[in-house]
Copies of this chain bind each other. A is one copy, B any other.
Amino acid sequence: MRILILGGDGYLGWPTAMYLARRGHEVAVMDNYFRRRACTELNCEPLMPVPNLHHRAELWQAVSGDRIQVLIGDICDYQFLSRVFREFGPDTVVHYAEQPSAPYSMMSREAAIFTLTNNLVSTCNLIHAVAEFVPDCHIVKLGTMGVYGTPNIDIEEGYLEVEHKGRRHKFLYPKAPGSLYHLTKAQDGDMLYFYCRMWDIRVTDLNQGPVYGVQTDESAQEDRLAPIFNYDDIFGTVLNRFIVQAVAGFPLTVYGNGGQTRGYLNIKDTMACIELALLNPPEAGKYRVLNQFVETFTVSELAERVQAAGRELGLPVRVKSIPNPRREAEAHYYNPANTSLLSMGLKPHYLTTEVLVGMLDNVREYQEAINSAHIMPDIKWN
């Protein structure tokens, strides 16, 4: 299969490229290096040094023999995107090319406008490129479980059958995102759903929970192939941050009473979910939504598990409750469905003490590189 990965430089983009190349797919990665520039400008560089994409593709070819094509440019630039579509002609596009940080999107008006325009113009351009050049192409877009918020009823996978005053209708599941970033992911989903209905495009939206993990099987073969690993309060995800806080001797920063429940998954499961989605495309005109996570935890539970793993390594880990910079429920009902990917064959990696100890060990190798500037949360949401 010919697979174009948009946002191929990111935490998930590059590992996905190696994973799919290893399984015999023809892979091209595209990126505009936004994340690198932002990390430099905001002084939140990733933990491990990350060679540029051309260099990583060379390193990977040396390790595996697989060729990954590298295309540097912006999908908001339709001329560039058109050339890529004409020349590469993908069967599947994996769309990771969005500004992925909730705190970033709430940092300033400028960051909000960038997030809004980048995330929506990129998706709109992608839809037009598919319709123009490869109408049968399957778009696999990374969404987020965060679009649902925390409703008081079960979260189904994408759609909700409603009975109201004796009549029935099936709606796209209503969204209540908690940051401007999450809002744009609800909006791009609505846009994909719209063009599925109008133009019969073929889309899978993977509403993913927070991902954790330092390495994949592919990246473990060579240090310089590691995913971009952020642990700061802008681009870092909660468990990855806790691991670095634990190693650096900082307290784990739990927002408020830590009762916020979310669905989590290992980065290795993200890779598997992407391949399951692209090997099983939906029919034309269908907007398929899959909830992508394997187990749910409260933030406090995550902190306790990291503490327990620290004990195994003789690492004392403290937990500290700090005022929540977000406006979100700290105790709420949460029962999201996630059966579709499991029934397609996903074999989950669960968050065991062994996995956490492995992450702590990985991070300890880079202990000297930890920059304490962004370890404690600092971003204001208003």
Contacts and interface: CB of A to CB of B under 8 A. Distances in A.
A128 B199 CA distance: 35
Given A175-B190, A198-B327, A128 B109 contact: yes
A191 B105 CA distance: 13
A133 to B, nearest CB: 12
Interface residues of A, number: 46
Question: How many copies, total?
Answer: 2
21 contacts: A109-B128, A116-B124, A117-B117, A117-B120, A120-B120, A151-B169, A151-B171, A152-B167, A153-B162, A153-B163, A160-B164, A172-B174, A172-B176, A175-B190, A176-B197, A180-B194, A183-B194, A187-B187, A198-B327, A198-B381, A199-B382
B152 A168 contact: yes
A154 B165 contact: yes
A121 interface: yes
Nearest to A177: B194
Interface in A117-168: 117, 120-121, 124-125, 128, 131, 151-154, 160, 162-165, 167-168
Contacts of A117: 117, 120-121
A194 B131 CA distance: 31
A124 B118 CA distance: 14
A190 B194 CA distance: 16
A113 interface: yes
Given A113-B125, A117-B121, A162-B164, 17 more contacts: A109-B124, A109-B125, A109-B128, A116-B121, A116-B124, A153-B163, A153-B164, A153-B165, A153-B167, A153-B169, A154-B164, A167-B333, A172-B174, A174-B174, A180-B194, A187-B190, A198-B382
Contacts of A151: 169, 171
